[in-house]
Each structure stands twice: as C-alpha cells, then as structure tokens.
Chain A
Amino acid sequence: MTVEASTQAAPPRPAAPARHRPVFVIALFLALAAVPLAVTLGLPAHWLTLVTRAMIFAIAALSLDLILGVGGLVSFGHAAFIGIGAYATGIMITEGQTEALIILPVLLAACAVFAAVTGAVSLRTRGVAFIMITLAFGQMAYFLAQALSAYGGDDGLTLYEQSTLAGFEPFANRTTFFYVVLAVLAFCHVLVRALVASRFGRVLRAARENATRVTMTGFDVGRVRLVAYVISGMIAGLSGFLLANQTEFVSPAFISWQRSGELIFMVVLGGVGSLHGAILGALAFLIAEDVLSGLTEHWKVIFGPMIVLFVLFTRGGLVGLLGRLTGRRDG
C-alpha cells in the first residue's frame, strides 16, 4: 500500500481566485455624499432629511444583517435597540445632559446589557422559537416605554434640545447632520465588514451553515453568537441616538414589532448577508415609502405587495439583482 499522502511532495499551491473590488459600495457612498449637492442643484429640499433618516435606518439594518444575514439568526425584536438608544438619548437630554460623549457610553452600555441578557435567553433556541422569543423581548421593551409616564408614556417624549458633541452642535445644521450620519454609517460599515472577515466572523459564518461542525472543531458557538448579538444591538442603539436627534421626539412606536419587521424587510430587500445590501435595502425602503405616500394615501396597499413581489422575483435582493445586471458575483 502506498503512503503517498505523507511522503510525496505536495503539488504546487493553486493561485487564489482574484477578489472583486468593492465597486458597488464605493459608488453607493459617493452617491450618498453627493445628495446635499444635488439638493442645492434642485433636488427637493426634503430629500436631505429623507436620506438622513434613511441612512439612520441603514445603520440599524446593517447591524441586523450581522446577526440575521451573517449569523443566520432572525431577530424579530431589533427595534428594541433603536428604542433603547433613542430613549436613553431622550431621557438624558430631558434631564439636562446633552453631551454625546456622556450619552453615547451610557446608551451603548444599556444596549449591551439588554442584548447580553435577552441574547443569553433567546440564543438557547433556534429557528421559529428564536423569532418568537426576540419578538417577546421586543414587545417587553415596547410596553416598558409605554409605562415610562415621567417621559411621555404612550404619547412619547418631545426633545427641546439636541445633543452636543464636545460642546459643538453637530445636529443643528441639516447638512452637517447629514454628513455626520453618513460618516457614522461608513464607519459602521467598515467595522462590520472587518468583523465578518475576521476570525470571529469566520466562526459566525461557519456556524450559520453547520453549527455542529464548528462545535466539533472546538468553538463555543453560543458564545460567538452572543457576542455578535451584543455588537449588533450596540450599533442599532447608535442609530437610535441619531434618530432621536433627528426627529427631536421619541415614542414607543420606535420599538413596535412592525418596526422590527420593517428592519427585516430592509435586509431581505437589499440582499441578506452582504452588508451593503442592508444599506441599499433601507435606502430603497424609506425612499419608496416616501415617494408612494406622496402619490396616494393608500400607499401601503401598493407598497406591501410590491416588496413581496420584488423579494419573490429577485434572488438575493437588490444586491443580487445588481450583480446579475453587471455580471459580477459580489460588490
């Protein structure tokens, strides 16, 4: 019998397949950066606010894609983190603390704790049970917000001030606000991309496909998923901070299960697991919502079926569609 495997010299290593440059992503961010200019050139002025809002939701959708698309965990309670971020911001501003350098650490810690506690429970389950438990925790946060009678309760909380950053007022001017949000979105995108490509991300991706194999390779899959869940929750909390500053109003509706469902829609619409797909999905969702609601008051009747049809007929969402149109595999 031969002992070929161990004694013969191995054949030369094949070259790694060429990697695509992230053309779509760069084009997307360039297009976003040009929106304020487009507004000065005649795009309706409310687009500045609209795209700012869409980018804020893109941050939340991106964070959801980390656990949903990359980790394979369909969380139906992700709006809770936006809510915690928004309420932490609203409450602290109401109490006279506007400084973002104080608000942000508190808010991120609150999101991390909520994610760690609810994640430790919900990640014991998979599939439909996980969806239901995250939904239940989301509803819990919703009712908690409703019960906050000192901070508006059911009616919500109006903010009479915006956050400051090291004494400056980055949110007072709408164009500045736009670029702050764009910068935060770009930062989060780079961060999440790096996470996905890291050792940690490889384990998270592998566990989505075959958790047993990953466990048998010596990884604690539950712990990896919990860390991803916490990071995801913190990024969503950041979007809540921006949302509170944009709307200057916080209400339980931020945490409703419909909002969580919309976030899932955005991710699916854009293309699950690609990260920039989630961004694209959020932009498309909010812009389509805005345009359609301007056309008719029955826009939801059109919007719902439109999304369902779109998802049914484009495998891989917007990113998959773009890829097929341009003959590329990924962005």
Chain B
Amino acid sequence: MAEPVLALIGINKAFGALKVTDCVSLAVQPGELHALIGPNGAGKTTLVHQISGVLRPDAGQIMFKGRDITELASEKRAQAGLARTFQITSTIPSLSVLENVALGVQARAAHPLALLRNAAEDAALNEPAWAAIAAVGLTERAHVLAGRLSHGEKRALEIAMALTLEPSVILLDEPLAGVGREEGERLIALLNSLKGRYAMLLVEHDMEAVFALADTVSVLVYGRVIASGDPASVRADPAVREAYLGEEG
C-alpha cells in the first residue's frame, strides 16, 4: 500500500483516571474513506480533537503527509490541508453561506489578512466559494445567513468550508447526526460524490451509511481499536458483534 496520508501511532489520552484514547494506531490512505465507528462515549470525538489539534495526546505521534504534526497548532494543521467538521455544527451564524465559505478560500489566498480591500465583493474569494457551494448543493441558499439554515444545510455548509481548504484529509465528526431522513440521504450522496477525491476519516453512528460508503472500517470501544478492515470482515468480526453491533441490533 502507498504511504498513508494520515497516520496515528500509539495515541494515548486520559481525562483524569478515564482513559479515553488507549494506544490507538490507525492509518488513512490517500483517497480512502475510512470510517470510525463505536458506541457513544467510545472516544471518537476526542480522537478527532487530537488529530485536529484541539487536544494534545498524552503520548503517541500523529503523522500527516509524512510530517510529525503532534505538536503543531490547529491553524497550521488546517493550512497544511487537514480540514474538519464538528459533531455539533460549527459555522459563523451571522455571516452568509457565501461569506462562510469565502472565509475558507481566504485562508488559502495570497493575502489572507489584507487590511483594507473589501472582502465581500472580492471575486478572487467568491468564485472558488461559489464552486464549493455548488458542490454541496447550497447555491440557492448562498445569501442566507448560516444561522438561518436547516440542520442538514449547516452540515453541508461545513463540508463546503472544509473543501475550500483544498484538504488532503477531511475529518468528519458524525455529519449525519440529528439530520432528517431526506437531508441525510442528500448528505450521503454528497459524501459519495467526494469519495476518491479526498481522503476522509468519517466518524459515524449511522451503520447503514458507514457500510455503504466506507473503504475501511475501524471500531473504537472504550478508547481502543478492537477491529479494523474492510466493511464485510468488520461486520463479521465476533468481537465487534458482541461489543457494538449486537446491542445496536
């Protein structure tokens, strides 16, 4: 296999006595959709926080595109092409969809913090933003304030913001959580359309979606990866059935 674009090597994290990440090693290959599943409280979000730099691991190493980013600040990780979405949607409510997405374009532009030039009418920012908005199907909603979007639309917006970073890896923390059936189907179609073009680490609760989308599935229980492999073999794994799938039905 090729060099993984993202690799976790023996990551540990504890909150007091609670071991939330227990020697997790995991690799995401270029273009791969790697799903991370596990019951509530398994430590999935905490792991995404460590990869994106919100939290520092107690031990272990995070390699991104062959570079050790374990100690790198969050914004530097984003600049390097590591994008993420949040389990609780995270946008800028009082900015329009277009401005939210243009903010991401701006981060990669030549003068990301230019002091006086008007940003709202800047075609260099808006054109790529329109493209990302079209890719997630929000064109008609481009001038709506992000705070007024439906839950599913906010999820799509977050994905558009991630796309503007020209990411090498997108971390998606439960992008289907709390979304209705119809919007959920649209989001699954969106993820499917991105598949192959971007490497993704998809944390998800919706089993049907995971097994339909993923190239690789890893199962996290009590902070430990108890199984990892292609969807069919993970589904058949007795440990997984007992620890997780069994109780879910």
- The residues of A with any CB-CB pair to B shorter than 8 Å are 1-7, 10-17, 194-195, 197-203, 205-206, 209-210, 212-221, 224, 227
Q: Are B103 and A197 in contact (CB under 8 A)?
A: no
Question: With A1-B192, A216-B84 in contact, is A198–B117 under 8 Å at CB?
Answer: yes
Report the separation of the CA atoms of residues A14 and B136 in the bound assembly, to the nearest whole angstrom. 16
Which residues from B are CB-within-8-Å of A14?
139-140, 142-143
Determine how close the nearest CB of chain A comes to the CB of B121; give it in whole angstroms.
Answer: 9
Given A219-B75, A220-B75, the answer on whether A194 and B118 have CB atoms closer than 8 Å is yes
The CA-CA distance from A12 to B91 in the complex, in Å, is 24
In angstroms, Cα B75 to Cα A195, docked, is: 22
Give the complex CA separation of A217 and B93 in angstroms: 15
Contact B103 A214 (CB under 8 A): yes
Inter-chain contact A198/B118, CB cutoff 8 Å: yes
> Can you sample 17 A-B contacts with CB below 8 Å?
A5-B137, A11-B139, A14-B139, A197-B120, A198-B116, A199-B109, A199-B122, A199-B125, A203-B103, A203-B106, A206-B95, A212-B54, A216-B75, A218-B76, A218-B104, A218-B107, A221-B75
Chain B: which residue is nearest A209 at the CB level? B92
Report if B188 contacts A (CB, 8 A).
Answer: yes
Please, how many angstroms separate the alpha-carbon atoms of A12 and B142 in the complex? 11
Q: Is the CB of A4 within 8 A of B113?
A: no
Contacts of A224 in B (CB 8 A): 113
* Distance A216 CA – B122 CA, assembled complex (angstroms): 22
The smallest C-beta distance from A187 to any residue of chain B, in angstroms, reads 13
- Distance between B78 CB and nearest chain A CB, rounded to angstroms: 4
Chain B residue nearest to A10 (CB atoms) is B134
- A219 and B192 contact, CB distance less than 8 A: no
Shortest distance from the beta carbon of B93 to any chain A beta carbon, whole Å: 6
Chain A residues with CB under 8 A of B78:
215-218
Q: How far is the CA of A216 from the CA of B120 in the complex (A)?
A: 21
B90 at the interface (CB under 8 A from A): yes
Closest residue of B by beta carbon distance from A15 = B143
The answer, among A2, A194, A205, A227, for a CB contact under 8 Å with B95, is: A205
B114 touches A199 (CB 8 A): yes
Q: Does B50 contact A (CB under 8 A)?
A: no
| Cβ distance A20 to chain B, nearest Cβ, rounded Å | 13
Chain B residues in the interface with A (C-beta under 8 A): 52, 54, 73-76, 78-79, 83-84, 86, 90-95, 99, 102-104, 106-109, 111-120, 122, 125, 130, 134-137, 139-140, 142-143, 161, 165, 188-190, 192-194, 212
A218 to B78, CA, bound (A): 5
Given known pairs A11-B140, A217-B104, A218-B107, the reply for A198 and B114 (CB within 8 Å) is: yes
| Residues on B with beta carbons closer than 8 Å to the beta carbon of A202 | 95, 99, 102-103, 106, 119
Q: How far is the CA of A144 from the CA of B104 in the complex (A)?
A: 44
If A14-B140, A199-B114, A217-B165 touch, whether A212 touches B90 (CB-CB below 8 Å) is yes
- Contact A3:B103 (CB < 8 A) given known A13-B130, A199-B117, A218-B75: no
Across-interface contacts of B139 in A (CB, < 8 A): 10-14
Which 3 A/B pairs are nearest by Cβ-Cβ distance?
A: A10-B134, A218-B78, A218-B107
A86 to B77, CA, bound (A): 44
Point out which of B111, B135, B192, B194 has the most chain A C-beta atoms below 10 A from its C-beta: B192
B95 touches A17 (CB 8 A): no
Which residues of chain B come closer than 8 Å to A217, judged between CB atoms? 75, 78, 103-104, 107, 161, 165
Q: Which residue of A lies closest to B147 (CB)?
A: A209
Question: A14-B142, A197-B119, A216-B52 are known contacts. Are A3 and B192 too (CB-CB below 8 A)?
Answer: yes
A12, B193: Cα distance in complex, Å:
21
Do A199 and B91 have beta carbons less than 8 Å apart? no
**Nearest CB of B to A112, in Å:** 15
Among A16, A194, A199, A220, max chain B CB count under 10 A is at A199
Pair B115/A195 contact, Cβ less than 8 Å: yes
Q: Which of A5, A198, A199, A213 contacts B193 (CB 8 A)?
A: A5
Which chain A residue lies CB-closest to B108? A218
Bound-state Cα–Cα, A210 to B89, Å: 11
Decide: B54 and A200 in contact? CB cutoff 8 A: no
B98 to A, closest residue via Cβ: A16
Chain A residues, CB < 8 A from B90: 210, 212-213, 216
Q: How far is the CB of A216 from chain B (nearest CB, A)?
A: 6
CB B41 to nearest CB in A, in angstroms, measures: 22
- Contact partner, A213, options B73, B91, B94, Cβ 8 Å: B91
What's the nearest-Cβ distance from chain B to residue A227, in Å?
8
Contacts of B189 in A (CB 8 A): 1-5
Give the interface centre of A213, A214, A217 by most chain B CB atoms within 10 Å.
A217
Residue of B nearest to A12 (CB): B139
Contact B103 A16 (CB under 8 A): no
Besides the known contacts A5-B190, A213-B90, 17 further A-B residue pairs in the complex with CB atoms under 8 A apart? A1-B192, A5-B136, A13-B130, A14-B140, A194-B116, A199-B122, A202-B95, A203-B112, A209-B92, A210-B90, A210-B91, A210-B92, A215-B74, A218-B79, A218-B107, A218-B112, A221-B75
